[in-house]
Structure 1
Amino acid sequence: MLSRILGLVRDVVLLSVFGAGGLMDAFLVAFKIPNFLRRLFAEGAFSQAFVPVLSEYKEKYTLQEVQILISRTSGALLLILSMLTVVVILIAPWVVTLFAPGFADQPDKFEITAELLRLTFPYLLFISMTAFASGILQSYGRFAAPAFAPVLMNLCMIGAALIFAPMFDTPIMSLGYAVALSGLLQLLLQLPQMWQQKLLVAPKIDFKHEGVKRILKLMLPAIFGVSVTQINLLLNTVFASLMIGGSVSWLYAAERMSELPLGLIGVAIGTVILPSLSASEAKQDDVTFKKTIDWAARLIVLVGMPAAAALFILSDTLMQALFLRGEFTLRDADMSALALQSMAGGILGFMLIKIFAPAFFARQDTRTPVKIGIISVFANMIFSVLFIGIFYILDKPLHGGLALATTGASFVNAGLLYYFLHQRGIFRFGSHWKKLFTQFVVSTLAMVGALYVAIPYFPTHASQWERVGALILLCVLGAVVYGGVLLASGFRPRQLKHG
């Protein structure tokens, strides 16, 4: 929660200091490339391949054999990432052309983006090793340090924007240094707990180690399986770079708001259940395996459904209250709100992916998610062309069509994951979900009605602090109405207990 709140503060500061469009677009593209690869390889494919194997070693083998696995895996990961980092730094302009082709016609913007990419890309090396250390700690029930690590990144970027940016000839360059530094600090934060667990061992390169070979075999298809959302969002950046200036920043602001409930609940639950599911699979305990997914799904729908509805109806209010200041104009707020409206519906889909995909990876099945992932990527492309065309015909800003395509692709992905879980008898929504779903829908509709009545009283032309205060009151009102109707419908907190 602290990480997400500071992340929101970070985005407010960045958009206030640098505005939308121009150099902010350049930084967001340069940052998205290593950040995309982080989620694709480190937090996505690597974690989902590494944690089940580590859990199996932990259950079946000695501490010394676990240490050997960690040593050989870290050596392989460090070598691959170091080589990738050097290559990308050398060919940065070509990478920018690939991920932001629209910048090629703007030489100054293109050159700054390439320089920022060279500064930010080492972050991938540091943060991937951080994810490696986090996966180890989480497998041993240590979640605090991994969860706190992103706080350091937010603090570094806030400090760079407010303190160090004026010292640079090109102020936005300060953010490039901040990103790289934050990756190193996050890695250093994990090391003391690894030492306490006797798991801090020197890296050694041995691609022939049985565990390393299994991890790499599981990792290759998993690249698509768990990180399809990131691929789709990156495709949006490619398309947005071809649109009017500011489109990248508007989509970024909307993504950050949609990631608030996703990161706070979806990612957190997905992180917690993977070691548990992996341990259940290693013990062949199917009952606990199914109960864990059902428990996670109850929490996801409990939060995801009202969060999606609230972000949709409060989109304009949110953007004006949080970002309307400094270089971020009313037009920027309106354009970001449009993107958020289009993206809000997909929040529940995004969150369900975070709990359905680990169910396959815990069983060391990476083929099914990768097939679904490929289908989802193609669905996103088709939706992008379709919705951009519809928005063009309706004379609406085209970036809204991109956001809507991401929403559609998220439900394709989540729906297919559940279909195969159900078909194979791994997990299915039981009869108790009929009543639960009805309770969640009725409570969400009541919340939407209350917010709809209250929004006209929002002080649009007041100071930012007054707008933020009014926004907090709206959130409290929505939460109270949602919770009250949910309790009145017969739902009880004990229903959220595992099993």
Structure 2
Amino acid sequence: MSGLLRSSAVFSAMTLLSRIAGFVRDMLQGMLFGTGGAMSAFIVAYRIPNFLRRVFAEGSMAMAFVPVLNEIRQKGDKAALKDFIDHMAGALCAVVLVVAAAGVLLAPVVAQLFAPGWSGEEAVKLGQTAAMLRVTFPYLVFISMMALAGSVLNSFGRFALPAFTPVLHNLTMIAAMFWLAPRFDIRPMGLAWGVLVAGFLQLALLWPALGRLGLRPRLRMGFAHPDVRKVGKLMLPTLFSSSVAQVNLLVGTAFASLLVDGSQDWLYYSDRLIEFPLGLFGVALGTVILPHLSRRHADADAAGYNASLDWGMRMALLVGVPAGLGLMLLAEPLTATIYNYGKFTDHDTRMSAISLTVMALGIPGFMLSKVLAPAFYARQDTKTPMRAAIWTVAVNVALTVAITWPLWRQGVAGAHGGIAAATGLAGLFNAWLLWRYLRRAGLHRPQPGWGRYLLRMLLACLAMALAVLALRGWVGEWVVLADWRLRVGWLLLAVAAGAVTYVAALLAMGMRPRDLRH
């Protein structure tokens, strides 16, 4: 498993750069644009094509495409591999062009669908959302083709360059805030154009890299190609299952439009912080384990498949549990340190911290799902994750209504926290359901030592929590620290104290680096 660990480390290192750039971007976005009004319209207009990006790019397409790609690659026929990529690229481009065109034409309908609460005095935000959607929808074409290139590069062990593309996206968005936004009467419209430019630049970065492998696609209409049809059959069930977290976020976005102005923004900023551990490790782990599992399945190596899956689950929990706990304990300090400047008020900080605290409950589940879902896709089983996704979305909607509706009726200021809690709990449910299906199918046989592994991890988390809470109590309220350098300094100290305590506790209980490789 040392190869998987190295690949995950490379991906995570590049993703760390992206997350740092993302934090700078979010900090500037909150400081310059605040929350509510046209900024809420941009967040909805940004989330919809982002959801479709997860469907057509990083999620459904990749999960169906990579196993078929590796199956052809294992046969050693490079001409057949190039022919498949040519036809797949042509088919994907045709589909996303049609979807993007439909989105541009039906932008007002799409805006109404995902923000049903904006009516009356807030109807102006619907118009702003529709106008921004007409700009952000074409982004889907660039980012989907970029994801195809990234999937090919990942399958050949080239993880660094695809992992760098989000850095480019964030840097482009930062440039758009200062150069494009001031040129528009509705300043967030400049951010919408920044999204489109970022998609083009990301594709321009990856496309030439395929030429160095001799696999740069020539777009050929490929719907009749047998392997493209195979991908299509595998992809249809994954359209829903691979993007269940994004579906849940869109459900939350629609419900948030019924709440007070700014609710979408608070949930957005909370989700951005949740994405840090998921992007830094969860996505990295899922990205590198899918090609590995698909090769083990293609080689009929059941023991290797099981060992890789078991290793992935342990790594997901080893990082996911303390990450979720840390975000819960440091929700307000994190939000205050990163966002609480300029137009982003103390009230915005407290409201975002509420949703971050409860959404962080789901991080272990989100992290595990990044490993468990590829376990099915590697075997070209896309129907089982779809069943789990349908149940998960149903549970999320039920929990959202059950928790949020009473809070909204009673006029509770943090009613959006009910949406975040439902998202987190649904993430845990999705991971449990996927694992249960794996166990029932006999695809996961736990390796020895799970009980001792979990006990060490939980005791180390307890030690971490005590250290972080002690330091938090010493500092007091983060929002009263006027100097941003004090906020950053104390936050880094709290994070470092928690991380060092967690690692030291694991070492003290006998866990060693070699345990991460087997």
TM-score normalised over the length of structure 2? 0.94
1:101 positional shift: 1.3
Partner of 1:60: 75
> Conserved in 1, the CA contact under 8 Å of 2:313 and 2:371?
yes
Measured after TM superposition, the shift of residue 394 of structure 1 is 8.9
Distance 2:235 2:73 in 1: 19
Residue of structure 1 in register with 2:463 after alignment? 446
Name whichever of 155-164 and 246-255 sits farther off.
Answer: 155-164
In the alignment, structure 1 residue 487 sits paired with structure 2 residue 502: no
Deviations along 1:415-470, one digit per CA (max 9) or x if unpaired, are: 01001111122113333110010011000011101111110233532311220111
- Looking at structure 1, the residues matched to 405 and 115 of structure 2 have their Cα atoms a distance apart, in angstroms, of 21
Q: Does 1:172 align with 2:188?
A: yes
Residue of structure 1 equivalent to 2:12: none
| One-letter identity of the residue aligned with 1:343 | M
Aligned to 2:267: 251
Partner of 1:319: 335
Q: Is residue 406 from structure 1 mapped to residue 441 from structure 2 by the alignment?
A: no
Q: Is the 8 A contact 2:307 2:447 kept in 1?
A: no
Q: Does 1:346 align with 2:362?
A: yes
- Please say if residues 309 and 344 of structure 1, whose CA atoms lie closer than 8 Å, have aligned partners that are also in contact: yes
Bigger Cα displacement from structure 2, 425-434 vs 21-30: 425-434
* Structure 1, unaligned runs of 5 or more: none
**Distance in 2 of aligned mates of 1:63 and 1:326:** 55
Q: After TM superposition, give the deviation of residue 164 of structure 1 in Å.
A: 2.9
Paired residues for 1:87-486 under 5 Å: 87-105=102-120, 106-392=122-408, 395=412, 397-458=414-475, 460-486=480-506
**CA-to-aligned-CA distance 1:285-310 (integer Å, 9 cap, x gap):** 11111111122122211111111111
Q: 1:22 to 1:428 in 2, by over 3 A?
A: farther
- State the superposition RMSD in angstroms: 1.2
State the Cα distance separating 1:396 from its structure 2 match.
5.2
Equivalents in 1 of 2:508, 2:336: separation in Å? 34
Q: Quick one: structure 1 residues 433 and 396, their matched pair in 2 at CA, closer, same or farther if it must change by over 3 Å?
A: farther
Whether the 8 Å contact between 1:324 and 1:464 is mirrored in structure 2 is no
Contact 2:334-2:491 within 8 A present in 1 as well? yes
CA–CA separation in structure 2 for the residues paired with 1:318 and 1:290: 38
Q: How far is 1:388 from its partner?
A: 1.1
Would the aligned equivalents of 1:322 and 1:464 in 2 still touch at CA under 8 Å?
no
Paired AA for residue 201 in structure 1:
P
Question: What is the rounded CA distance, in whole Å, between the counterparts of 1:457 and 1:327 in structure 2?
Answer: 28
Where does structure 1 differ by over 3 angstroms across 4 or more consecutive aligned residues?
389-396
User: Does the Cα contact within 8 Å between 1:277 and 1:362 map onto a contact in 2?
Assistant: yes
Distance 1:44 1:444 in 2: 31
Taking only the aligned residue pairs, the percentage that are identical comes to: 44
Question: How many Å apart are 1:493 and its aligned residue?
Answer: 1.0
2:38–2:186 Cα contact (<8 Å) kept: no
| 2:57 paired residue among 28, 31, 42 | 42
Count how many residue pairs are aligned between Structure 1 and Structure 2: 498
Give the partner amino acid of 1:210: P
User: Is the CA contact (8 Å cut-off) linking 1:53 and 1:215 kept in structure 2?
Assistant: yes
Could you tell me how far apart the structure 2 residues matched to 1:131 and 1:425 are? 32
Aligned to 1:16: 31
> What amino acid is the match of 1:421?
L
Offset, 1:144:
1.2
Q: Is the 8 A contact 2:180 2:194 kept in 1?
A: no
Tell whether the 8 Å contact from 1:262 to 1:347 is kept in structure 2 after alignment: yes
Which stretch has the larger CA shift, 48-57 or 137-146? 137-146
Deviation at 1:87, TM superposition (A): 1.4
Asked whether the equivalents of residues 286 and 374 of structure 2 are also in contact (C-alpha less than 8 Å), the reply is yes
Q: Secondary structure in 2 aligned to 1:218?
A: helix
Report Cα offsets for 1:65-115 as digits up to 9, x if no partner: 001100111111111111111111111111101111122432322211111
1:398 CA displacement: 1.3
The amino acid of 1:462's aligned partner reads A
Measured in 1, the distance between the counterparts of 2:382 and 2:497 equals: 43
Structure-2 change in CA distance of 1:327 and 1:428 (3 Å): farther
Structure 2 partner of 1:75 = 90
Secondary structure of 2:59 counterpart = helix
- 8 Å contact 2:89–2:217 — kept in the other structure? no
Say whether the 8 Å CA contact 1:240–1:399 is kept in structure 2. yes
Separation in structure 2 between the aligned mates of residue 428 and residue 434 of structure 1, nearest angstrom:
14
Equivalent residue of 1:102, what SS?
coil
The alignment partner of 2:118 has SS state of helix
Deviations 1:218-242 (A, max 9, x none): 0000112221111001100000011
Residue 327 of structure 1: SS of its match in structure 2? coil
**Runs of 5+ in structure 2 lacking a partner?**
1-15
Paired residue secondary structure (2:424) = helix
* Cα shift at 1:254: 0.6
